[in-house]
Amino acid sequence: MAGEIPIQNIYYLLCYAWNHLDEADEIDITANGTQSLDELFARVLTQGTQHLLKRGLDRDYQLHREETAALKGRFDLTASMATQTWRQGRMVCEFDDFSHDILHNRILKTTISQLADNPYLEKDTATELHQLEKQLARITPIRITSRLFRKVRLHRNNRQYRLLMNVCELVHESLLPTENQGSSRFRDFIRDEKKMPLLFEAFIRNFYAHHSHFKVSAAQLSWNVEAEAKAKDLVPIMKTDVSLYSAERQIILDCKFYKQAFKANYGKERFNRDHLFQLFAYLENAAHSKNWHNTEGVILYPSVDHDFHHHFSLNNHPLTLCSINLNQDWKIIESRLFDILSPAISDF
């Protein structure tokens, strides 16, 4: 299913999920028809880095330590005495250097270098990456680990790096060695059964946060439970995927990134009962959370072949079970997501 999502749509999914719509507008991944994940990520990094170079790479003060005859900053007397550098008229000094050679630039440079030798890229894209390597020659490569990304500190003045750092992290997580020594190829992360549900959920949540009047969150609801304190502590947390709140309407939207929305029972298709039971539990207990009343429920599945849209009422709760076809033009996908929130006209 997910393998058939067009590359351009994967890019939009990522930009919404990472909440990088502003940065996404600066990068045109439709040029020349991007056909692979390798090409997609390489193109995002080349265009994004080119924008950074035009504006000027970010700089910051870095603590620098060296043995020098020109005294500056703070000299380390203990180290100088231990190494006897003072006998040659040199001292070990520490000083702040206002430099481009900072963590996020080093991660960017290293990732570009890794991608530049990818044999699955278009020739022009690989050439652009090698050119960027030369432009970043003064940036020191770094050994990238997952923990390294947690140390990156971005703020309003260098927010242009946000999308690029997310792509670098995804590249780091997805690169696998190939039979050709020194080369690598992306694992098809859109088949990852752990990552893609979270990506789909974040995409839906941020899409409605940007394009609807609702207050959008992953709300935690209260159980209607009476028990002693120890027993209450054992009750699991009830946290929604996406909740859309306004004074007039409250909607609990459950995202299900599954290949099958229905299950066969004696040769007949039925709604997935586990998914239905979960949403029903949310709806039944939502009324016990402050300001929640007459709550509506939606279960949303992705699809790439055909869509379905069913309305019904369950214990007086309006329910919608529907899908969104991700294998179509993005404008149609946007329109479809707006339609999902249209109040259902009751005919039952």
Integer Cα distance of 258 and 196 in angstroms: 10
Q: Which residues contact 137 (CB under 8 A, 6 or more apart)?
A: none
> Would residue 164 count as lying in a domain?
yes
**Local confidence band at 202 (pLDDT 50, 70, 90 cut-offs):** very high
Confidence of residue 2 (pLDDT cuts 50, 70, 90): very low
Residue 218 and residue 288 in one domain: yes
| 3-class DSSP assignment, residue 64 | strand
Query: What CA–CA distance (Å, rounded) separates 261 from 270?
Result: 9
The reply to whether 285 falls in a domain is yes
Q: Is the pLDDT of residue 76 over 80?
A: no
Task: Return d(Cα 103, Cα 161) in angstroms, integer.
Answer: 11
Q: What gap in Å lies between CA 338 and CA 94, rounded to an integer? A: 58
Kindly state whether residues 230 and 253 are assigned to the same domain: yes
Q: What is the pLDDT of residue 90?
A: 79
Q: Which of 258, 252, 261, 249 is nearest to 286 (CA)?
A: 252
pLDDT digits (tens, 9 = 90+) for 4-54: 788 888 889 999 999 887 776 667 666 556 678 888 899 999 999 999 999
Q: Are residues 236 and 288 in the same domain?
A: yes
> Do 206 and 151 share a structural domain?
no
Report the share of the chain in percent with pLDDT over 90. Answer: 43
Q: Identify whether residues 121 and 26 lie together within a single domain.
A: yes
Reply yes or no on whether the pLDDT at 71 is more than 70: no
Residues 6+ apart with CB under 8 A from 216: 205, 206, 208, 209, 242, 243, 244, 245
Q: Identify the CATH number of the domain in which residue 244 sits.
A: 3.40.1350
- pTM for this structure? 0.80
The total number of structural domains in the chain stands at: 3
Range of the domain at 258: 195-340
Let me know whether 181 and 92 are in one domain. Answer: no
Is 200 in the same domain as 180? no
Whether residue 108 is contained in a domain is answered as: yes
Tokens, residue 67: 């043995």
Containing H/E element for 220? strand 220-221
Say how many C-beta atoms besides its own lie within 10 A of residue 38's C-beta.
22
What would the mean pLDDT of 261-272 be, rounded to a whole number? 77
pLDDT tens, residue by residue, 79-106: 766 677 667 777 788 867 788 999 999 9
- The upper half-sphere exposure of residue 214, i.e. CA atoms within 13 Å in the direction of its Cβ, equals 25
Give dist(CA 208, CA 210) in Å, integer: 5
Which pair of structure tokens corresponds to residue 122?
């278009």
309 lies in some domain: yes
Give CA–CA dist 75/81, Å, rounded: 11
pLDDT in tens, 117-160: 888 888 999 999 999 999 999 999 999 998 999 999 988 888 88
Contact 5, 190 (CB under 8 A): yes
Average pLDDT over residues 323-327: 91
pLDDT category of residue 189 using cuts at 50, 70 and 90 = low
Q: Are residues 176 and 40 in the same domain?
A: yes
pLDDT at 312 over 80: yes
Same domain for 110 and 73? no
Give pLDDT, residue 235.
Answer: 84
- Of 37, 331, 58, which Cα lies nearest the Cα of 186? 37
